[in-house]
Amino acid sequence: MSIKVNHYWSVVPKSQEEYQKFVIKKFIPGINHLGMHTVAVWSVIVGEFSEIICETACSDLEWVEKALTHKRYRALKTDLLRYVNGYHTKVLLNTGKVSSYTMDIHEDAVKFNQMWDVRSHKTGEYEYFMTHDYIPSLKEIGISVAGEWEVIIGDGPGIICEGRVSDVATLIYNLRSRQFQDKKRELKQLVENYRSRILAFHARKIKSFRSTSYQLVNP
């Protein structure tokens, strides 16, 4: 799928119990019914941003427009706002630097997302550096790049580099390595407004032989 719609919010503390029931039993099934398939829901554990990111994937931009203007989506959003603050969305387009995007994520996965804006006069250098240098370097230190996404609707930064790892302790160790720090310095010559976040599961997909469900992990 080449389009993602990410939903962002922070939970109102006094609404935790009602919120948990609503997200699992109403919001995720409702979003899926509209064709915005829920990949996972994430908690931001390192980095400044919304507390929760609900990651959904869709087949094309026209379908996204239909889903986000549907009365059922408006009803889901209205109900969600009883339990959360700061709700907003971003629509992301896969840039194609990674050949295939998988929605199957290992149960122990942690995400390392990096965001930035490409300097307008460095576009060509950036494209070459990412494909031939930065993404391969991340792989060498155990960060699998699941995709690079351009924010086409929503606030910036305009690029999200989605990384996945299996162990947060190893991730933090590798982020302190000279190899990563050197590559990040090179990257910053080509981009601005660099930010990064580490995400852990808030709710993950549970597959069985007959069905798919979702389970809260760290509510």
The pLDDT value given to residue 105: 86
Q: Which residue has the tokens 């290992």?
A: 106
Neighbour count for residue 213 (Cβ, 10 Å): 11
The pLDDT value given to residue 218: 65
The pLDDT value given to residue 164: 95
**pLDDT at position 159 over 70:** yes
Supply 211's token pair: 């069905």
**pLDDT at position 11 over 90:** yes
Q: Is the pTM of this model over 0.95?
A: no
The pLDDT value given to residue 1: 56
* Segment (H or E) for 39: strand 37-46
Q: pLDDT tens digits for 33-56? A: 999 999 999 999 998 778 999 999
* Segment (H or E) for 214: strand 212-216
The pLDDT value given to residue 156: 86
- Say whether 168 sits in a helix, a strand or coil: helix
What does pLDDT average to over the chain? 93
User: Which regions of 83-190 does DSSP assign to beta strands (E)?
Assistant: 84-94, 110-118, 144-153, 159-165
All domains in the chain, ordered by first residue = 3-94+200-216 (3.30.70.100), 110-198 (3.30.70.100)
Supply 53's token pair: 């990111």
Comparing 144-153, 196-205, 210-219, the range with the smallest average pLDDT is 210-219
**pLDDT at position 19 over 70:** yes
